Homo-oligomer: A and B are copies of this chain.
């Protein structure tokens, strides 16, 4: 059965709207009975049964034993055929790479992370990613031809249609390199989608986090850089050239320091991880914080953003002030975006997201002070609770979203 099916897979997989509705229901509920599906959709029992038979025939669905009786005959349960194939999510960060192997319903089966340096050339980096994927596949016992989709998030501006990085500051050697082409060589059956890392985090938050059923939200990643993933009307907003959400280079202070983008006083240059570390080192050197000075000496003369967090937790005033200043600058920018975009939620993630409440409180305060009341009364600003999982989860969701395509979408507006 799987053998005959395998050769028929052509990605993306086209579904009509009835099939899509069934699969969507199964994604949400895990298991479902034919009768419940009929009731949910409003279709007749015959049509529902026929559609299910077709999907089982095609290999998407399988029976999953018997359900519990509702006072009559026991129903037969249906679930997504987990042997149909697998999808992979890859979250490439500036200093690490996260990979997840998931089944066709989006459940993560295997997961792996390791440090990595994105500044190297794409071939060895992606080669290592392929190795990791192959390793996870071995653990799961899955063949290369069973990999149907791969979603990849990269930390830079992505021309989404082409799946190519455009002028990426962190990884200049990747410019115009076809990530899709490289990965396809190892997984010819797979449908490869490349997107910005923040977009996939937003997608992860929407599918498996607190962003579920939220129409309009912003996911802000604060780490080495600062970026935002935008969801409008329940869909990722990528903008006309696919680089929407690049808020790291919004101007905070015209007289501020020079950013790697060439401008002055960008948010990223003043409030992201490196800026925090830099300010902390100044505080250590000019004697305003003994604790930071000691940490710096322990670290061999440098401070990382995490060290500032450590100092902050121990009540160091200088460190606290640095974090507060960052939060305020980020909040000032977000205030403008709240006025413009009017989201109901802002999720904050990235390496700095576990910096505790000092950062969050100052962000909230700045936003509330500078945004319109109507925009803030129902606004929630919180850390993403998905932690480092948002990225890979979103990458898996991205792969699935573009693996299954609904055909014959009718016009939605007059």
Q: Give chain A's interface residues, CB within 8 Å of chain B.
A: 15, 17, 20-21, 23-24, 27, 157, 159, 166-167, 215-216, 228, 230, 232-235, 237-247, 249-251, 261, 263, 332-333, 335-337, 339-344, 369-375, 377-379, 400-401, 404, 406, 409-414
Report, nearest first, the 10 A-B pairs whose CB atoms are least far apart.
A239-B342, A240-B344, A244-B342, A17-B410, A250-B336, A232-B232, A243-B374, A404-B414, A216-B240, A246-B339
The complex places the Cα of A166 from the Cα of B375 at a distance, in Å, of 11
30 intermolecular pairs with C-beta atoms under 8 Å apart: A20-B410, A23-B414, A24-B414, A157-B374, A216-B239, A228-B340, A230-B340, A230-B341, A232-B233, A233-B235, A240-B344, A240-B379, A241-B375, A243-B372, A243-B374, A244-B341, A246-B340, A246-B375, A247-B340, A249-B372, A250-B335, A251-B336, A251-B370, A261-B372, A336-B337, A341-B341, A401-B413, A404-B414, A406-B413, A412-B412
Residues of B within 8 A of A343 (CB): 239-240
Question: Max chain B CB contacts within 10 Å: which of A21, A157, A263, A375?
Answer: A375
Residues of B within 8 A of A414 (CB): 15, 20, 23-24, 27, 400-401, 404, 406
Contact of A237 among B232, B245, B251 (CB under 8 A): B232
Further contacts, 7 of them, CB under 8 A, given A20-B410, A247-B339: A232-B232, A243-B374, A246-B372, A250-B339, A261-B372, A400-B414, A406-B410
Residues of B within 8 A of A375 (CB): 239, 241, 243, 246
Residues of B within 8 A of A333 (CB): 336
Residue of B nearest to A400 (CB): B414
Residue of B nearest to A214 (CB): B240
The complex places the Cα of A23 from the Cα of B414 at a distance, in Å, of 7
Decide if A240 touches B263 in the complex (CB within 8 Å).
Answer: no
Decide if B410 touches A410 in the complex (CB within 8 Å).
Answer: yes
Each complex incorporates copies of this chain amounting to: 2
Decide if B374 touches A240 in the complex (CB within 8 Å).
Answer: no
The complex places the Cα of A344 from the Cα of B370 at a distance, in Å, of 28
Question: Max chain B CB contacts within 10 Å: which of A237, A239, A337, A369?
Answer: A239
Residues of B within 8 A of A215 (CB): 240
Residues of B within 8 A of A370 (CB): 249, 251, 263
Please judge, given known A-B contacts A232-B232, A250-B336, A411-B24, whether A342 and B406 are in contact too, CB under 8 Å: no
Residues of B within 8 A of A410 (CB): 17, 20-21, 406, 409-410
Residues of B within 8 A of A342 (CB): 238-246
- Closest chain-B Cβ to A380's Cβ sits at a distance in Å of 10
Decide if A241 touches B411 in the complex (CB within 8 Å).
Answer: no
Decide if A378 touches B240 in the complex (CB within 8 Å).
Answer: yes
Decide if A340 touches B340 in the complex (CB within 8 Å).
Answer: yes
Contact of A233 among B233, B243, B378 (CB under 8 A): B233
Residue of B nearest to A343 (CB): B240
- Closest chain-B Cβ to A381's Cβ sits at a distance in Å of 13
Residues of B within 8 A of A216 (CB): 237, 239-240, 244
Question: Max chain B CB contacts within 10 Å: which of A17, A244, A261, A404?
Answer: A244
Residue of B nearest to A239 (CB): B342
Residue of B nearest to A17 (CB): B410
Residues of B within 8 A of A377 (CB): 241
